[in-house]
Amino acid sequence: MNDLALSLSNTLADAVARAGRAVVAVNARRRGSSTGVHWRPGVVVTADHTVRMDDEITITRPDGRPVPATLAGRDPGTDLAVLTVADAEPPVAELGDADSLKVGHPVLALGAGPTASWGVVSAVSGRWHTWRGGEIDRLLRLDLVLYPGFSGGPLVDLDGRIVGINTSGLSRHTPVAIPVATVSRVSDELLTRGHVARGYLGLALHPVRLPETLAHTLGLASRTGLIVVNVEAGGPSSTAGLLIGDVLVTLDGAPVGETDDVQAVLGSQRVGSIVRAQIIRAGASAQVEITVGDRPQGRR
């Protein structure tokens, strides 16, 4: 082994040893365990899709000792779950800066044991909404193998700092990592209320292109909108008087042509507040005020 290869090998081994001290096995499904991270004293973070039980959960510490754990909350939208552990002991995660990661940077995925997989960051982009309705601060795609049981484990930089939580539950094609900022934000909310509040209108919407003459007549900035295909009985939009067939064109003045545009306007901070919706009904423009609800659990 030449000097460069030896140096890299030692760097990777040191990073595994440093980060692995905060890595635990999560025993929350009938067959096999997944991985979790002792995020801060008494708090373990893991991937929600690996937590199949609501009680009788245990974690296995790096020294092999099993410890009872309690499910504090879960958020399918970001695929995160938080466990609390009364008998937790240091060390806890040494957190790094996921914003410093660039395409091509070498990274490690750790499983309990510890076990490790090595690869690179394959893609980086900004804030994104998952197919489950969650909001992730930064998209980190990984070119490495998440072996069975690795979901919920840490993404680790070459200094041995944890920069995210790995999951195979948010992408059908490649593993992704949930960055530290998202994990901390979501875990705080789960510890406080047991779920993540998300703005909710109670509508099923479908993109539609508007006739050019109609858009011109109504003075619309865009020729796209969202047609209402279902209104949930008793939901925020039903209470506000929206009807099937209405076309939503703006929310608080922002054009909406895709469902992601609606999610961009809504958020946990908007729950309970009023949004002003511009709609088209029977060829005429109208303004409707909707009080944003808190999305019921189990719905996307």
| Cβ-proximal residues to 150 (8 Å cutoff; 6+ apart), any chain | 34, 35, 109, 110, 111, 115, 117, 166, 168
30: amino acid identity, one letter? R
Whether cis (ω within 30° of 0) applies to the bond prior to 211 is no
Whether cis (ω within 30° of 0) applies to the bond prior to 90 is no
The catalytic position among 151, 168, 187, 237 is 151
Q: Which residue has the tokens 């999560």?
A: 26
Is 184 designated active site? Answer: no
247: amino acid identity, one letter? V
Alpha carbons within 13 A on the beta-carbon side of 112:
24
**Number of neighbours of residue 265 by Cβ within 10 angstroms:** 18
Rg (CA), the chain: 23
The catalytic position among 34, 48, 49, 246 is 49
Whether 169 and 151 have beta carbons less than 8 Å apart is answered as yes
Is 195 designated active site? Answer: no
The catalytic position among 79, 157, 246, 261 is 79
Helix (H, G, I), strand (E, B) or coil at 12: helix
Is 63 designated active site? Answer: no
Catalytic residue list: 49, 79, 151
